[in-house]
Each structure stands twice: as structure tokens, then as C-alpha cells.
Structure 1
Amino acid sequence: SEAIRNAITQYNTQARLINRPMVTWKDITEYSFLGKFDLLHNARLNIQECDWAKPAYQEATLKYFKLCCAKEEITRLNVEIHRLCTSIHDEVISVANVINKLQQSNRMLAQELHQQYRSHLAINAV
């Protein structure tokens, strides 16, 4: 991301001034744990001792954000449920109208469609 590249550039500019090790994009992409960030070891404050760097806090944070996402998903699903119910209702009316019209012109096809659609209705009723 451009923001990370800008941060690397700014860090390297400051690191040159105080004789600290510089980092590259490749270095950043290879870091998978906080402990692997050598630049954090050179910081005045030991970041690894901060609460947010501890595994229990990280896990709690992840669970919190998953919970937030779950709440958003429930809201979306509640909307989708209403759309689905409306769609099923409209389909029932539409198919019933088609079957009624077919009763006049093609009774056999109307009966077959009615039989086929009954199983469909049973599934929708669940």
C-alpha cells in the first residue's frame, strides 16, 4: 500500500539521521510477528510490553471486531430475509396466475405445472 511505502520512506529518512537500521518493503512484507520487527527493538519504548501487543489483548481485539462484523451481518440478513419473503410471496401469486390462465388454454400443462409447483411450495413453506 502507498501509506506503508510512505511510512517506510519517512522512517528511513529519520533512521539515517540517528544511525538506525533502515527497512525495505521486502523487510516489512516478511515480518509476521511484532517480535521480528528489529526496528521496534531499537525504539525507546519497548512496544512488546504494551498491552495491545500481548496475545490475550490481540485475541480479544480480534473477537471484538468479529462481533462487530457479525452484528453488521445480522442487520444485512434481516433486510435480505424480508426481500426473500417478498420474492416468495410474489412468485406464488405469479405462478398461480399463470396456472389459472393455462387452465383455459392447456389444461394438461396447467395440471403438470401445478403438480411440479406443489413440491416447490412445500419447500418454501419450511
Structure 2
Amino acid sequence: MLLDVHIDGASRGNPGLSAIGIIIKSDDEIIKEHCEFIGIRTNNQAEYEALRRALEICTGMDSEVNILSDSELLINQRNLKYRIRSQELKIISREISNLEKNYNKITYKHIPRTKNSRADYLANKALDIHVGTNAKK
């Protein structure tokens, strides 16, 4: 069994309030969805946090994962086509590299934003919930 994992990070502002959305599928069937507010981040940091969290969640579920993201930067950096220049991303990248050791195989694939709309929806839902919660305080 191979897991298809759609990830997305969303920021309102850059940096700004940020959240992540993750969808885990097996044989085109959704087996888990996750959304989480992650604080103040840049858009790229949010994308990396989505990947880190997805790898944490999938640990033990399967040994092979296919990561699908609409972030060209993230995918090209994980596939070693681009260097990571940001110090913050280097730190998260090291954590991701450690999590990757829990898997036999990980593939990173760029997909168009239109094919990642559910993960985007979940990330924005987490932001809306956070903003709504704080607006009531």
C-alpha cells in the first residue's frame, strides 16, 4: 500500500498567520485529514511545516509515501534541484530529513494548485477557525 499525501501551507501575510492542511489517501480513498494553525510563518515555512507534520502523522502508517504539493520551491528543494538558502528552512529541512528515515521510499511530486484544492481548503479552514476564535476574545 502506498500513501498519497497532499500537503499545503497557507499564510495571510508573508510572514503572517499561518496554517497547514494535509490529506492522506490510500487507493484514492481519504483515510485522514488534518488541519492546524501554526502561528506566524512565511508562506515557504508553512509549506515546510505541512510536510514535516505530514511525515510525523504518516510514520507507522506505511513505509512508502508519495508527497504531492503545489509548492515548486518545496518539491525542487526536496528533490535536490534547488539549494535551500533560508536558515529557517534549513532547520526544518533537517527535521524532515530525520523523519524521512522512517520510510523505505518517499517521492516528491509537484502538482497544480487545482489538484491540491482540498489541502488548501483545510489550511484556510484552520486559519478561519483561529481568526474566528481570536476575534471573540
TM range (shorter): under 0.3
Higher strand share: 2
Higher helix share: 1
Question: Which structure: larger Rg?
Answer: 1
Q: Per chain length, whose mean CA-contact separation is higher, i.e. which structure has more relative contact order (CA < 8 Å, sep 6+)?
A: 2
TM-score, normalising length from structure 1?
0.24
